[in-house]
Amino acid sequence: MKKMMITALSVVMAFSLAACGTKSAAPQTGGATPAPGKKEVTLKVGATASPHGEILNSIKAKLKEQGVNLEVKEFTDYVQPNVQVFEKQLDANFFQHKPYLEQFNKDKSMNLVTVTGVHIEPFGGYSQKIKKIDELKDGAIVAIPSDPSNGGRALALLEKNNLIKLKEGVGVKGTVRDVVENKKNLIIRELEAAMLPRTLGEVDLALINTNYALEAKLVPTKDALFIEANDSPYVNILVSRPDNKDSEAMQKLAKALTSEDVKKFIEDKYKGAVVPAFK
């Protein structure tokens, strides 16, 4: 009797399982199942905090809607952002101008590439000791960036303001060795770019990249004794590697960085201290 009950139970279970299988295999009503959406892509981008990091953070939500998760990693130097892109720890960076990138690639045997130009940061001269450039005394200490591209840019700006004269033809590629006239006997000190705002109390004049000036709460259009014109060739660029330059996500980032929204953000927030390089 017990054996018969077990057999009967087995038959019932078999029919139940078969019924369940038939039910799950039946076609669903209402048409085919929708195709799943595209997987979100993460882009890791290195940047100096201001203005680059601020500009990138302003487009995070817009990119999120397009399936791109933008992660911004902030740096205080000009070396690691390039090294980490080259080593594929980052997908791209946004902190430098083209002359700096070209020199970096040459010095480090790298092949990083420009994706798009975004803005110009007019380079300026700052001081806590004088109010106008005519007050600069003989033997004054002038600090400039130590990296070649920004150092040459600083020297060219000093020449433009009649403080020194460079060897003919060197332009923004000049070095302190190319100074052929120095009527005020200026003592030119080359320091790491990020250190320059901190030296303002110790030197008579410092030529500072705008991103570091902004981080130090300086207002270039108000605080600089002199500043580059808006036609400066030093456009700040989005940089990546040849293998990912044309990826869909990278191109979405490039398009967002050169959008009307970013143009308005730059103009509203920086009041001329940062200038859009696109129309």
Q: What pLDDT, on the 0 to 100 scale, is given for residue 117? A: 96
Give residue 19's pLDDT: 35
| Other residues' Cβ atoms within 10 Å of the Cβ of residue 213 | 25
- In this prediction, residue 232 carries a pLDDT of 79
CA 190 – CA 57 distance, rounded (Å): 32
pLDDT at residue 96, rounded to an integer: 96
pLDDT attached to residue 229: 80
Give the bridge partners for 235, in sequence order. Answer: 120
Look at residue 268 in the predicted model and tell me its pLDDT.
Answer: 96
CA 35 to chain CA mean position, Å: 36
CB 91 within 8 A of CB 250: yes
Q: Which of 230, 231, 278 is nearest to 255 (CA)?
A: 278
Report the DSSP beta bridge partners of residue 124: 208, 227
Residues in the chain: 279
Low-confidence ranges of the chain (pLDDT < 50): 1-35
242: cis peptide before it, omega within 30°? no
CA dist list (Å): 240 to 81, 84, 116: 10, 10, 10
